[in-house]
Structure 1
Amino acid sequence: MRFHLNIEILEAFVTVLMIPTFHLLRHNTFAKKILPHVCIALITTSLVFDWYSSGLLAAGTVINAMDFLYLMIVLFDRRFLLTTLIYTISIFVVFLSSGMVNGEMNYAPLFNLANIGYPNFKNNFWLASTLYSSVPPLIVCVSLLSTILTQWRNRENYITQLSQRDGLTSIYNRRVLTENLMALDQNQSQLPYAILIIDLDFFKSVNDTYGHIVGDHVLIDSAKLIQQSIRATDILGRYGGEEFLIIIQDATMPDIQGVAERCRKALADYRHVVDAKSKIQVTCSIGVALSSHHDNVMHVLDSADQALYQAKINGRNQVCLA
C-alpha cells in the first residue's frame, strides 16, 4: 500500500512537470512527433502498474481500460493505437506475466485478501479503492464526450445552415425554395397558396455605376426589408441574382396583396447608403400568382413570372397579379 502511494505521488509529480514542458515545446516540429509517444508510454506504464496492483479482473481495471481506449481514439492519431498496444503487451509479457508465472508477483497485491478480508460491499477499503480508480476516469471521459457531442451538434447545425442559407443575404437559398415548392405539389389536400417573385428594378445599373460591393449591400438590405414585411409563416428565399421568391400559404387574397404591397413600399421608401454624401433608391417589381385546385406548382411559378414581366412593362415599382 505504501509503495503504491509512493508511485502515485511520483506519477502526479511527473504529470505536473510535463504540463509546462509540453507547453514550451508545442511549436517544436521534432517534439510534436516525439511527445505523443512519450505521453502514451507514461500513461500506459502508469495504467499497467495500477492494473497489476488491483487485478486485471477488477471493475476499476476494466473501466480504466475502456476509458483509456476511448481517449486514445479521440485525442490521438490512429497510428498511436498500434504503438500503445505493442508497448502494453511488451510490459505484461516481459515484466508482469513472467513474474506472476514464476511466483515472484502475486495477483492484485493491493487487495491481499489475507490482510484486508474478502472484497464484499462491507469492506470499506475495497469499495473506496474501486471508486478511487474508476470515478475520476469516468468523469474525464464523460466530460470529454459531452464536449465532443456539443461541438458535433454545433458543427452539424452550422453545416445545415450553410446548406440552407444564401451566403450573401442569409435568407433561404434556391435549393430550399425548390424543396418547398415540390412539397406543395405532393400535398394535394392543402389550401391554395401564392407565389410572389420580387425583382429589383435596374439592379444592373447599380453594379455598373457604384460597383459590386454597393450592389451586395443593396441585396442584403433588400432581403432584410422584405423579411420584415412578410408574415412569420411565409417562406422567403433568394431565387436568383436580384430576384427573391416568397411562398405564402393559408392566406386570403387581400392578405397576399397586403404582403406584396408592404414589400414594394418598404423597398421604395428605403434609401441605400453609398457613401457619406450619397444615397440611392432601388425599387422593385412584384409578380403574384395564386394556385387553384388543379394547378401544379410549376404552372403557378410560371404565372408569377409572367405577372412580374407585366409589372416591368407597366412601368416597374408595382405589384401585378396573374
Structure 2
Amino acid sequence: MNWSTLNKCILVMVLGGLAHITWIAWYLFSFHHPALHHWLNPDYYYFHLSRMLLCCVLQFLLIIPCVIWRHKEWVIQYLPYFIILVFSVSFIYGGYSVGISSPATVAGFISILTVGLVLFERKIVYLLFLPVTVYMLIAIVSSALGYMTYAPVFSDQLNYSVMVFNEFWVYSQLYFYVPIFFATFVLFEILLTQWRNREKQINLMSQMDPLTGIYNRRKIGLELNEIQLQERKFALILLDLDHFKSINDNYGHDIGDNVLKRVANVLRQNIRDTDIVGRFGGEEFVMLLQNKNLRAAMEVAERCRKEIENELFYIDERTTIRVTASFGIAISEFNLNKEAVIRHADQALYLAKKRGRNQVRHYYELQDADVIQKSET
C-alpha cells in the first residue's frame, strides 16, 4: 500500500509477464502433444504464438523505464497509463483467443479489475478498464451472434462441441485462471493485512499523546465510559506540575518537553497493568486506578509525588532543576457520572495548590472543610 505507482507498475508487469510465460508453455505443450493437437487451430498457431511472445517481452521491457527513469516527472505522470493499457490489451487479447465469455476470461477480468482498483488511483483504472469492459461486452455479444470468431485458438471440433464435457477445455480453463486466482489471493491477503495494521496504528495513534507516549484525554474518556458501563469502582488522580510555565520560559520548550516525558515515565512505572495513565492537557496528567479505594489511591499518588520531587533534570553540565507536582484524588460513587468524578478530582487538585503545592489532597477533605465551616457559622 505504501509503494509508489511505478513500483506497483513493475509488480503488474512482472505478474503479467509470468502469466504469459505460463500461457505460452500451455500452448506449446498442447500444440505439440499428439493427443491434444487436434483440439487446437493450426491456422492460428504462429499468429497467436508470436503475439503472445510479443506481449510477454513487452511487459518485461517496460520494467526498464520504470527503474531507470523513475525520478523523471513525465515517467511518473504518464507511464503508468501506458503500462496498464499494455497489460489490459494483452489480457483481453489472451481472453479473446481462448473465449471472450469463457470462465477463465470473465473470472480473471473481475479479479484483475478488483486488484487494480485497490492498487492504483481510480482515474488510472477507470480510464483504461472502462473501454476494455465495453469491448468485452461488445465482443461477447458479437461472438454469440456469430459476427466475431469465438476462441480462435481452439479448433472447430472443440468450439462446436459441448465444451463443458471436454476435459481438455475444462482443465485448460483451470490452468488459465488458477495463476490469476493465486496471485489475486496473495495480493489481497497482503493488502488486507497491511490495511488492518494501518487501521490499528491509526487507532492507536488517535489514543496516544505523541510527546509522552501515554494515553491522551480522548482515550481516558473512552476508558471511563467503559468502566462506568460495567459499574466498576475506580479512583481518579489528577496531577499538575507546579510552576511549569517558568520552566518553559526560563529554559525553553525542549527542556519542558523532556520534563513532561520523564514525569510520564514515572507515573507509568507506578501503576499496574490494569491501570491507566494519560496526559490530560498541557502539564496536567491523569491516573485511572481500577478497584482502588481512597487509601490505596493516596499511597500511589504520594509515591509518585516523591519520585517526581526526587527526579533530577539536567539543563546542561552545570545546571540541574527539580520539579514538583500537586495531586487531587476523587473516588467513583454509584450516583456520579464521569464528569462529576473528574470535577471532584479537579477541586481536590485546586485544594492542593491552594495549600502550598507539592502535596496530595482528596475530594472528601473539601466536604470535611465545608462541614467545619458550617458548624463555625
TM-score range relative to shorter protein: 0.7 to 0.9
User: In the alignment, what sits opposite 2:253?
Assistant: 212
Residue by residue over 1:84-141, the C-alpha shift from the partner in whole angstroms, topping out at 9 and shown as x without a partner, is: 43356569969x959x946xx6422333362698655773x43442233112222222
Determine the C-alpha separation between the residues in 2 that align with 1:41 and 1:293. 66
**SS at structure 2 position matched to 1:239:** strand
User: In the alignment, what sits opposite 2:52?
Assistant: 8
User: In the alignment, what sits opposite 1:61?
Assistant: 105
1:49 aligns with 2:90: no
Q: TM-score, normalised by structure 2?
A: 0.73
- Report the Cα offset of residue 316 of structure 1: 2.6
1:39 aligns with 2:83: yes
Q: TM-score, normalised by structure 1?
A: 0.84
User: In the alignment, what sits opposite 2:236?
Assistant: 195
User: In the alignment, what sits opposite 1:86?
Assistant: 131
1:160 aligns with 2:203: yes
Identity of aligned pairs, percent?
38
- Report the Cα offset of residue 161 of structure 1: 2.1
- Report the Cα offset of residue 11 of structure 1: 2.0
Determine the C-alpha separation between the residues in 1 that align with 2:341 and 2:133. 69
Which residue identity lines up with residue 273 of structure 2 in the other structure?
Answer: A
**SS at structure 1 position matched to 2:349:** helix
- Report the Cα offset of residue 268 of structure 1: 1.8
Going from structure 1 to structure 2, the CA distance change for 1:33 and 1:182 (only over 3 Å counts) comes to closer
Given that 2:212 and 2:261 are in contact with CA atoms closer than 8 Å, whether structure 1 keeps it comes out as yes
Give unmatched runs, 5+ long, in structure 1: none
1:257 aligns with 2:298: yes
Residue by residue over 1:54-83, the C-alpha shift from the partner in whole angstroms, topping out at 9 and shown as x without a partner, is: 112322111211123223323443334244
Give unmatched runs, 5+ long, in structure 2: 1-30, 32-44, 364-377
Instruction: Tell me whether 84-93 or 241-250 shows the greater mean CA deviation.
Output: 84-93
Instruction: Tell me whether 72-81 or 262-271 shows the greater mean CA deviation.
Output: 72-81
Q: 1:135 aligns with which of 141, 158, 178?
A: 178
Equivalent pairs, count: 316
Given that 2:237 and 2:330 are in contact with CA atoms closer than 8 Å, whether structure 1 keeps it comes out as yes
Given that 2:327 and 2:349 are in contact with CA atoms closer than 8 Å, whether structure 1 keeps it comes out as yes
Q: 1:310 aligns with which of 351, 354, 360?
A: 351
1:30 aligns with 2:74: yes
CA RMSD, 1 decimal? 3.1
Determine the C-alpha separation between the residues in 1 that align with 2:315 and 2:169. 76
Going from structure 1 to structure 2, the CA distance change for 1:306 and 1:90 (only over 3 Å counts) comes to closer
The runs of at least 4 consecutive aligned structure 1 residues that moved more than 4 Å come to 87-94, 115-122, 182-187
**SS at structure 1 position matched to 2:281:** coil
User: In the alignment, what sits opposite 2:270?
Assistant: 229
Given that 2:98 and 2:153 are in contact with CA atoms closer than 8 Å, whether structure 1 keeps it comes out as yes
- Report the Cα offset of residue 221 of structure 1: 0.9
- Report the Cα offset of residue 48 of structure 1: 2.2
Going from structure 1 to structure 2, the CA distance change for 1:174 and 1:20 (only over 3 Å counts) comes to same
